[in-house]
Amino acid sequence: MYIEYVLNFERDGRGMICAMRYYADLLAELLPRTGRWFDQDTSISFGYAPPIVLETVNDVKDFVQIFYSSQELTMSVSAWLDRQHLVNLYVEDRVLSSLRVPLEAESSVRQVIDRHVGNAKRFKRQYCEPLEPTEFDLKARAGEKLVQFDLPTLAKSVGHCYPMANEFGTVSFYYSYMRALVPIKGITVSKSLKKTIRKAKYTVTYDQAFEQVIRGCADRYLTWINEDIIQVYCEAHADGWGHSCEVWVDGELAGGVYGLAVGQVFSGESMFTRVTDMGKVALYHLVNHCRELGFQMFDAQIINDHTHSLGAYEIDMHEYHRMLAHLKDNPTMWSVSRSGLF
């Protein structure tokens, strides 16, 4: 048993760097008290893509030396990030970070953290049983590049982590310590979206243009979808567990969503819009369609302002894996692999 302190920084304008400096100040005070635990069952993580993880005393000392708030941030930050295998550092409005320590360290850690808690926008303390990491979790946490990305690899990774490509075309696994879900009862519908749906000046189809949808999602300035990912996801579609929802306006593809189905879990991968609100319309219809097919969970992977406005919420990976264990072996007509992968 260990204790996990989760801190969520929102809309402070500094994102990841703010979280790092906050933790550097906290760890500078914690290290003399709890240093011996950092070489045992302790870890600190920041963000998602991939998460930065500190696991040893030397990791922590190195981190504090770089980011401690009394120092000026210098080019050493870039060098440190390079050593963490981060090609890009995404500084977003919302950064989740967590500190995990063994239960016996709680009294020492809590005194220090309670003095720092006022600096965080949200603070949560929770007790967790350690999760036995899978092969794919370990690859994702290490930011390990995939030697081969193929259909069996994708099938094994679903529910644990997700593949993304960087600007050099390399596909790696990414792991998050929190998981975003969209309510299976339906998304939150704004007044304007409700009006659009009521007018219904569009046509909805399913699985009629899977490759067009994924290419629509990839058609943006910064994208994690490269040709390798398109090819393998199209293979998942042909195998019976990759699905899409298309929205058409005047015969043209105006928006869409695609994802993967495993058991009673549908994992939405990405969406796009070419005509106002048509991506939201696609998600609205897809969630409802999944519910009608017997799905019990709609996984949105990583929360952002857009999905949050549509009703998405977060659960930690412990709860997510407990739910997944109950749902992954109950197939729907959309979650059967024709080749027998699951």
Q: What is the pLDDT along the chain (342 residues), one digit of tens a residue?
A: 555 555 555 444 445 566 666 667 767 776 666 555 554 545 555 554 455 566 666 766 777 776 665 555 544 555 554 444 433 333 333 445 556 666 666 666 666 666 665 544 444 544 444 445 556 555 555 555 555 788 998 998 888 777 887 666 677 777 666 788 999 999 999 999 999 999 999 999 999 999 999 999 999 877 889 999 999 999 999 999 999 999 999 999 999 999 999 999 999 999 999 999 999 999 999 999 999 999 999 999 877 778 888 999 888 777 888 899 899 999 999 999 999 998
Q: Is the pTM of this model over 0.75?
A: no
Amino acid residing at 271: M
In this predicted structure, what is the pLDDT of residue 168?
A: 63
In this predicted structure, what is the pLDDT of residue 54?
A: 65
C-alpha of 325 from chain center: 19
d(CA 286, CA 205): 10
In this predicted structure, what is the pLDDT of residue 115?
A: 66
In this predicted structure, what is the pLDDT of residue 13?
A: 43
Q: Show the CA angle centred on residue 148, arms to residues 222 and 329, nearest 5°.
A: 90
In this predicted structure, what is the pLDDT of residue 322?
A: 85
Cis, bond preceding 50 (omega within 30 deg of 0): yes
In this predicted structure, what is the pLDDT of residue 180?
A: 87
In this predicted structure, what is the pLDDT of residue 165?
A: 79
Helix or strand (DSSP H, E) at 299: strand 297-301
Which contacts of 324-329 are long-range, i.e. CB under 8 A and separated by 24 or more positions?
324/159, 324/263, 324/265, 324/297, 327/263, 327/264, 327/265, 327/296, 327/297, 328/159, 328/262, 328/263, 328/264, 328/265, 329/263
d(CA 159, CA 178): 12
C-alpha of 313 from chain center: 12
Q: Show the CA angle centred on residue 100, arms to residues 98 and 104, nearest 5°.
A: 150
Nearest to 43 by CA among 4, 16, 77, 82: 4
Residue ranges in the chain assigned as alpha helix (H): 15-34, 57-67, 76-83, 106-116, 135-141, 151-157, 191-199, 210-218, 227-238, 278-293, 305-309, 317-327
In this predicted structure, what is the pLDDT of residue 106?
A: 64
Q: Which domains does the chain have, with CATH numbers?
A: 2-128 (no CATH), 178-327 (3.40.630.70)
- Supply 149's token pair: 């990305």
Nearest to 93 by CA among 308, 299, 314, 301: 308
d(CA 259, CA 233): 9
